[in-house]
Chains A and B, each alone.
Chain A
């Protein structure tokens, strides 16, 4: 009988403990003043650690940024509006899928360089499915398979995962934000990318330029719209884009 009482007590207290721990969230309020405490927010806000980037060439970068901004809003955005009218959404999606599929060697290199072999295998599976069942990549047939949608890797991320810092921030004419590390990564990607030089799989230079142009133009409508929302609502668009880039890359490297 004693044993029974002891057992009931154990079950009872265990249940009580579980119930009280389950309602922790309901009772654990945070005070308004604690939520606007500076140290608390700095420790907890950023999407990823070390989202900082040095900017010793801010003067030159700002000049190129303002040139790019003018080009995006006055030339490229009006052009993309026409493009969206002419090419229906399904067509744009197909073109995006096609070029995304061709980006496989770059993502594979990014995964392998980080020794993420599971991700490299997923990328290979996705490439094979999309190239065959997805009609040369125009359809993303792999999107319905959970195991075939890995996080995207690139060489800049691989360099970051090796502990290499950004170096410094660079604004490239028209191409936009980058850093010394990510720019070096891009040069490396040029070597494995099937379209771009130096080891292109497309022999005819005009065809190569045309293919790259289609890829770039097709991606522009979405990028440009997001870019204008960010800059239109910014206090300082240059800083907004620089910090956005630093945070985004830090998140990608940490994954």
Chain B
């Protein structure tokens, strides 16, 4: 009798385990799908016109799309690290806007000049309880580039990108090294001046 009971409960147990495991997989499908949509929409905007409008003409549209899944405030504060506290409130706003424009402008020009890349996304990898990494392969001009997005489940925001890794190189960490070097010798005002000049040159 007991053996019969055990046998009849076994499928229930198996089902419960399978259901719980798939629930976790589905849960991580949502940020992956959202990221894929965001990146595809971004590429649509970049390749929408044949005349290749400059970054300034597309800026608001690009930022609106990226804002859905990229927390630029987190990205920029992480990139500045301890140097962030050396800026006053007005400088923080200026640096935030200038760095965002500098990076987006450079990659907009690069991406829209070439053909539309093809993308493939891997399933998310769990980094910690509130962080995941989504790897992707970008095929651009016959060259494969490994691009990984790190996302955190931020309170009141949901899954948001806080770092992008190109071939394993963390962009946030790379910028932090540059800011550290800058602030060893120069000031926040110098940084703003430098960023403005770089934007004019580009």
Contacts and interface: CB of A to CB of B under 8 A. Distances in A.
A47 B20 contact: no
B27 A247 contact: no
The interface centre, meaning the residue of A24, A35, A38, A225 with most chain B CB atoms within 10 A of its CB, is A35
Interface in A13-28: 14-15, 18-19, 21-26, 28
A161 interface: no
A128 B84 CA distance: 54
Contact of A47 (B17, B165, B175): B165
B64 interface: no
B176 to A, nearest CB: 8
Contact of A35 (B78, B110, B127, B175): B78
A221 B113 CA distance: 13
A-side interface mostly: helix
The interface centre, meaning the residue of B82, B141, B145, B173 with most chain A CB atoms within 10 A of its CB, is B173
A32 B106 contact: no
Contact of A239 (B78, B157, B181, B198): B181
Contacts of B155: 29-32
Nearest to A247: B169
Contacts of A244: 169, 174
B118 to A, nearest CB: 13
A36 B198 CA distance: 26
Contact of A32 (B74, B102, B178): B74
A11 B81 contact: no
Contact of B142 (A38, A92, A232): A92
B182 A22 contact: no
Interface in A78-95: 89, 92-93
Contacts, number: 162
Interface in B142-190: 142-143, 145, 152-157, 162-163, 165, 167-170, 172-179, 181-182
B169 A248 contact: yes
B142 A30 contact: no
A175 B155 CA distance: 46
Interface of B: 2, 5-6, 9, 12-13, 16-17, 20-21, 23-24, 27-28, 74, 77-78, 81-82, 84, 102-103, 105-107, 109-110, 114, 126-127, 129-132, 140-143, 145, 152-157, 162-163, 165, 167-170, 172-179, 181-182, 191, 194-195, 198, 202
Given A31-B154, A31-B155, 17 more contacts: A7-B5, A8-B9, A21-B24, A23-B23, A23-B27, A25-B24, A25-B130, A29-B154, A29-B156, A30-B131, A36-B74, A44-B131, A47-B173, A225-B114, A233-B103, A235-B175, A240-B178
5 contacts: A30-B153, A228-B110, A239-B181, A240-B174, A240-B177
